[in-house]
Amino acid sequence: MRDALGAVQSVLLLGGTSEIGLAIAGRLVGPRSATVVLAGRDPSAMEAAADRLEEQGAGRVEVIDFDAAASAGHEDVIGEAARLAGIDLDVVIVAFGVLGDQEADESGGDGALQVATTNYVGAVSAGLAAARRLKQQGHGTIVALSSVAGERVRRANFIYGSSKAGMDGFFQGLGDSLAGTGVSVLIVRPGFVRTKMTRGMAEAPFATTADAVAEATVKGLHTGRQVIWVPGVLRYAFTVFRHLPRALWRRMPA
């Protein structure tokens, strides 16, 4: 449970190699030497991340297997994370996702299905499992890493964008359903973030970094926000974009 100053004692990162997720965890661990559980598919990468988190002040870091597409096991993953933490889970970060390849995925194969399964179905399954655990505790916050790509879906990346639109809408509804339980949801909507996932891609306007997203997220946690945009100017940009006629929107540059 968080202390009187809002410092957390435990963090579960679903998507244990996510650069943004790890940056958030790194900013949360110091004040109380928090325990972190990294849940993902790459044990060696998570072990390296664990070493960095310990250097940043984590008291203990555990690593467990997690596959966003294997929804049947999500309840067990959440339970195992709580057991390894040894205390209640204060913050659960939902940070997994795949970009896909829009052109290739439109042409055929199962790439589009993998994007939808990971980004939306996996988020729904893991989000509900986390919410049930936190409701049982009576406290905790789910941090859902969404994207401005889901705020209004563009022709250039409509497969990824639609998966994030669904994921974002789900966590909005989940947050509303948890009102009064002691559990909350913080939705984080970054724009283009410079990470390994986006390396080699043309940057969109207002590009940001994982550290900037982490800083804004931790601030949002401390102030009790429900939704944040990173950088904040995107909130106002999309207020305009949301109302553009479709004929104009589809001609917007990628």
Closest CA to 191 of 241, 137, 131, 142: 241
* Residues contacting 245, CB < 8 A, separation 6+: none
Measured between alpha carbons, how far is 231 from 42 in angstroms, rounded to an integer? 30
3 lies in some domain: no
Position 9 confidence tier, pLDDT thresholds 50, 70, 90: very high
Query: How confident is the model at residue 253, as a pLDDT?
Result: 67
State the DSSP code for 197. G
pLDDT for residue 226: 97
pLDDT in tens, 86-117: 989 999 999 999 999 999 999 999 999 999 99
CATH assignment of the domain containing 148? 3.40.50.720
pLDDT digits (tens, 9 = 90+) for 11-38: 999 999 999 999 999 999 988 899 999 9
Q: Is residue 93 part of a domain?
A: yes
pLDDT tops 50 at residue 5:
no
Active site positions, annotated: 160
Structural domain total, the chain: 1
Does residue 23 fall inside a structural domain? yes
The answer to whether the bond into 231 is cis (omega within 30° of 0) is yes
The stretch 112-129 carries a mean pLDDT of 98
**Digit-coded pLDDT (tens) for 212-235:** 999 999 999 999 999 999 999 989
Q: What is the DSSP letter of 119?
A: I
At residue 251 the predicted structure's pLDDT band, cuts being 50, 70 and 90, is confident
Query: To the nearest whole percent, how much of the chain has pLDDT over 70?
Result: 97
Q: In this structure, is residue 254 part of a structural domain?
A: no
Residue 70, domain member (yes or no): yes
Task: Decide if 5 is inside a domain.
Answer: no
Query: Is residue 35 situated within a structural domain?
Result: yes
Question: Does some domain include residue 17?
Answer: yes
Which is more confident, 80 or 208? 80
User: What's the CA dihedral at 161, 121, 66, 189 to 10 degrees?
Assistant: 40
Tell me the pLDDT of the chain averaged across its residues.
Answer: 93
Residue 173 belongs to domain spanning: 10-249
